[in-house]
Structure 1
Amino acid sequence: MASDTSDNVSQALVLKTPDTVKATIWSHFGFRNDKEKDKLDKSKAICKVCQMEVKYCGNTTNLRNHMLRHHQDLMSKPSTGPQQMKLKQTLQLPANSARSLKITEAIAGFICKDMRPYSVVENEGFRRLIKVTEPLYVMVSRKRLSEEVIPNMYQSVKEDVKSKLKSAVRVGITSDTWTSVATESYMSVTAHYIDEEWNLISYVLQTTEVETDHRSASLAEMMTVAIEEWGLMSKDPVMVTDNAANMVHAVEIMGLTHVGCFAHIINLASQAGFKLPNIARLLGRVRHIAKFFHRSTTATRILKEKQKLLQLKAHKLTIDVVTRWNSVLEMLERFLEQQPAISAALLSPEVRRKEKDLCSLKEEDITDAEDVVRALKPMKTATQVMSEEKSPTLSVIAPLHAMLLKEMTSLPEDSKVVKDIKDEIKKNLSTRYLNQKDMLHVASAVDPRFKALPFLSEEERDSTFSRLQTEAVVGMEEEASNQDDADDEADGVEEEVQPQPPAANHKQSSAMESLLGEAYRLREEGGAQKTRAEEAEDEIKRYFEAIL
């Protein structure tokens, strides 16, 4: 038995397989060499396992049938030899090619930037787009995107942002909690700083699901973990959040300076005015009519006809959003703009026939709506200023806050509705920033746009200038101390002094100056050297007297 096996092995070694055949079945077959003709005998293929001769007709059908009939166990095993690539595979970009990696990275960037789901790579339209752009690209799987590509991209971007944040002297942190469409709570943390070229740079550091409660201690812990993860605690960060009690207390627990979002304060003050009974009743009627036109196709069609007849703009009525005060103003403005068409549409027999419970506004209601819109214009202007500011700074809060308090002061000629809403908004605004006035006034003083501080009383201006002078003296002393430390370190290092050529256009020194040296210069510059407090006072005085 052993002898037969050795004979089969020796016979298999004699068999040869041409290099031109690529099918995996040839790993089990070969041809004998015809000694007389000195070439391979291709009329019969020899099985390397059992040495049986199989008729060869130019294809592998007989060979496969033989293996299936006699050696089926070997057919189930994958061949370890070289595999023949399919034509389709030869016309595809390798997954690790530079072109393929670049496209995959672009797809990952698209998903991140536009907040698209991973399943977008399985959408027919998206796959067709990529196919037209690069026919040879093999679409990346959502599994690879979620487990490899995007996590690697996140780590790369994170390291880059960390290195840039290291150059920041101080940072501002904004944080807010919000609820997704799926009713899941999240917290976002964003960092802001001024770069070396005085550009405002902002990075969204993270958005994390709030899996715990919304108590101050829990939120403080989440924000602390985020700030420490990015190494920003040493940057003396200032926190800007909304004015909810839990967020304010959370920042107090962290021991950081807190500034309430001014846009959120405008929203809270406006919402307080909207809760007045007479205002709430008016808004409820307008909202009811707007919703009716949104749900009724007949009313919408007739409204369009009336708009065209009255030559009004073909605008749809808007409905306010609870969290946006300016949406209430937009709802009233749109209602007043379309009021003639709305009244005509509501009086239409076709609309009346289908809707019995309809309420139209009376003349005094229209007047009240116009008064409310007029009263809220300053609030809208302040919101636009904050929204359009490309580099929002703390210095703008005090002037805007003072302007709103002035504009919300009721006048004798105001109607009852205007007086009520102004008084309520002013009452709410008056409770804001009470403990941060000094900081806000100093911030406005160092902004050239507001340095005259016209919104403050003379006593408040003098107090602000005095406080600014004190801070300037402290800064100058710290700078001088740092310079002394640097000089002390330099004194311990011996440096070879290179001869320097005389400076160009240098004014020729007089004989008196050459004789008396420093004594002459000090006398010429005005006598005794000034203290840092006097220098700070002079510098601040020159700053405020300078013409813009």
Structure 2
Amino acid sequence: MEEDREESLLGPPAKFKAKIWQHFGFYKLPGSQELELDHAICKYCRTKVKLCGNTTNIRLHMTRHHPEKPLLSTEPKGSVTQPTIGETFKTKYPASSPRAKKITSLLLAHICKDLRPYNVVENEGFRELLEECEPRYTIPTRHYITEIAMPRLYAEVKNNVVESIAYANRVAITCDAWTSRATQSYITVTCHYVSPDWEMVSHVLQTRAMFESHTGSNVADFLVCVMDEWGLKDKDPALVTDNAGNMAIAAEIAKLLHIRCFAHTINLSAQRALKTPTVSRLLGRIRQIVTFFRKSTTASHVLQQKQKLLNMPGHKLMSDVQTRWNSAFDMLERFLEQQPAVCAALLSPEVRKNAKELWTLTEADIACAEDAAAALRPLKVATLVMSEEKTPTVSVVAPLISQLSQGAVVKTSDSAVTRDIKHAIAEDLGKRYPDKTFLRMASALDPRFKALPFLSEEEQDNTFTIVATEAARMSEKNEDITPIQEPADPEVGEPPCKRKDCALSDLFGETFSLPKRQDCQKMSPYNQAMNEVRGYREAEPIELSGTSVAAERVFSTAGDIVTAQRSVLKPEHVDQLLFLNKNLPKRYKQ
């Protein structure tokens, strides 16, 4: 009987795929062709091993009774087995897997947001970090990042920006030129507009190398190409640039409304004030002292001791930068703050022997410095106003010009240096904006400045008359505008119904009560506009906390991208990195 059963020992079913089954077989059930699956038969000792739904018992049998036999023999050709846990974690993700795509997208975002060079994927430390965090991820090559992944991401984000701009009625574009460390000349263009939700939106559009001379004609051709590429021609764009003559010519050739950057205007006025003989000589003396303390470790140490002895803040002296006027003001203010400690340090024996050639500031010099700082302080405040705001608004320009001009009026009590500074500021500001009509209209339409206190009553009335005339022209231009209806329940304070596609209605609709529908239908567009303007002027102005221009932040970022390490970047790669750095945080979702 046992011999019969030996002859009937058969291999395991096909569904038993573990390699351990090569050492076991099964008997047939008596009188049946089916296998007796309750027990496995060892091929070497013919021992019956009870099965419990897994391979634990048969593995224990082999370990105890046949340790010389390999548990994992060579896999039969063509069979499929389940990998072990260790093998699973060594298997690389396919490039098309969701996990690999996710990590690659985050890698691209890291390069763009943190302004990393493309060769970061080749850095040993970076590769070790990713290998430890995700061993199954294959780090892409620099060529793949540069030529495939980054252009693909750029095209995706660019499409999103184009779609967003399409909803804008009007746009403002800013343009500025800069030079990289590789002495490559670039022009960067940004775009600003109000979204349908009345939110200010800004985009960096492109940064292109310009090999031609930066003449007004060449810049105009460049701007026309930009407007064609991004679909801006029908948006009636306004151009904001610095005060360079070629930019003014370019705006005229391209037939664009040109607005001079007020932050740049302030810088020019301040630079002119700093070049007056008295101020220039004073700054030269202070700069010499500051340089001495910054270069001498002994003098710096003595200065720190004097600061502690006099209970003064331990601030370091600041030096100025030629291209930033406010750095000269900061140097002047810091010197005045630390002047007692500086004078005490200069009189100490260990410093005095090395500072024999330094000019000693007299009390008259200190008084002159204090007067200069006081006269320049309004320009510093105006610069902070322009640089600390988040989004560009031209409405703040006219009030600031008026404020600075009033502050530059010479008084009989002013010192000589104060008179020189005020005269330089007033003369420079006076020639920058010969026609202020557009600036006044912008201020009138800003609820913060609509009172126009810097204008006479006649000038205020004239400004709002121009606004009403322009609003009436817009109403006549839009044929499908319907009259504005008053709220269903005025006591609840619900906003009136808005006229379709009318920006003026959107701006003024919630500010004042409008005449009844039947009265509106009888009014001419001009009378309707005047009625709206009248109600708008009667409403209380809002607080002076709003939005304004961000001065040249984009171009500072550009300098961070084209550093010495990345000076070999191609112009198209500079364009992609700067575009994605400014637009990716808003458009790219993790």
- TM-score band, normalised by the shorter chain? 0.7 to 0.9
Q: What displacement does 1:527 show?
A: 12
The yes-or-no answer on 1:342 pairing with 2:342 is: yes
Superposition pairs for residues 133-532 of structure 1, below 5 Å?
A: 133-435=133-435, 437-479=436-478, 481-483=479-481, 529-532=522-525
Within 1, Cα distance between the matches of 2:138 and 2:132? Answer: 12
Contact 2:90-2:136 at 8 Å conserved across structures? no
Aligned residue in 2 for 1:544: 537
Aligned partners of 1:474 and 1:92: how far apart in 2? 66
Counterparts of 2:221 and 2:214, CA distance in 1? 11
* 1:530 aligned partner, one-letter code: M
The one-letter amino acid paired with 2:480 is N
Q: CA deviation at 1:354?
A: 3.7
Structure 2 counterpart SS, 1:455: coil
| Cα deviation, residue 373, structure 1 | 1.0
Closer, same or farther in 2 for the Cα pair 1:95/1:535, shift >3 Å?
closer
1:133–1:183 distance in 2 versus 1, CA, 3 Å? same
Q: Tell which deviates more after alignment, 453-462 or 118-127.
A: 118-127
**CA–CA distance in 1 between the matches of 2:519 and 2:373?**
61
Distance 1:308 1:434 in 2: 52
What TM-score do you get using the length of structure 2 for normalisation? 0.69
Deviation at 1:88, TM superposition (A): 11
Which stretch has the larger CA shift, 301-310 or 233-242? Answer: 301-310
Map of 1:122 onto structure 2? 122
- Inter-partner Cα distance in structure 2 for 1:198 and 1:94: 44
* Aligned-pair Cα RMSD in Å: 2.9
Count of aligned pairs: 431
Residues 405, 145 of structure 1: CA spacing in aligned structure 2 closer, same or farther, 3 A cutoff? same
Give the C-alpha shift of residue 307 in structure 1.
Answer: 1.8
Distance of 1:110 and 1:444 partners within structure 2: 41
Partner-residue secondary structure (3-state), 1:376: helix
TM-aligned CA deviation for residue 451 of structure 1: 1.6
538-547 or 253-262: bigger deviation: 538-547
- The structure-2 alpha-carbon separation of the partners of 1:339 and 1:128, relative to structure 1 and needing over 3 Å to count, comes to farther
Secondary structure of 2:522 counterpart: coil
Match of 1:496 in 2: none
Q: Which has the larger radius of gyration?
A: 1
- Give how far 1:177 is off: 0.8
The alpha-carbon distance between structure 1 residues 346 and 183, as it changes in their structure 2 partners (threshold 3 A), is farther
Measured after TM superposition, the shift of residue 210 of structure 1 is: 2.2
The Cα shift of 1:416 comes to: 0.7
Shift of 1:257: 0.4
Structure-2 change in CA distance of 1:537 and 1:362 (3 Å):
same
1:157-192 CA deviation, whole Å, 9 max, x = no partner? Answer: 111111111111111101111122333321110011
Partner residue of 1:535? 528
Give per-residue Cα distances to partners, 1:22-41, cap 9 Å, x unaligned.
xxxxxxxxxxxxxxxxxxxx
Aligned-partner Cα distance in 2 for 1:317–1:234: 52
Larger RCO of the pair (alpha carbons < 8 Å, separation 6+): 2
SS at 2:353 equivalent: helix
SS of 1:338 mapped into structure 2: helix
User: Gaps (5+ residues) in structure 1?
Assistant: 1-19, 21-84, 485-503, 506-521
Counterpart of 1:97? 97
Counterpart residue type for residue 429 of structure 1: L
Q: Write out per-residue CA displacement over residues 388-435 of structure 1, whole angstroms, 9 at most, x where no aligned residue.
A: 223331211111111110011111111110111011101111112113
Report Cα offsets for 1:418-474 as digits up to 9, x if no partner.
Answer: 111011101111112113x11111111122222221111223222212212211221
- Structure 2 CA distance for aligned equivalents of residues 264 and 528 of structure 1: 47
Alignment-mate amino acid for residue 482 of structure 1: D
d(CA) in 1 for partners of 2:155 and 2:390?
Answer: 29
- In the alignment, structure 2 segments of 5+ residues that lack a partner are 1-18, 20-82, 483-487, 490-514, 542-590
Q: Which letter maps to 1:440?
A: L
Identity %: 48
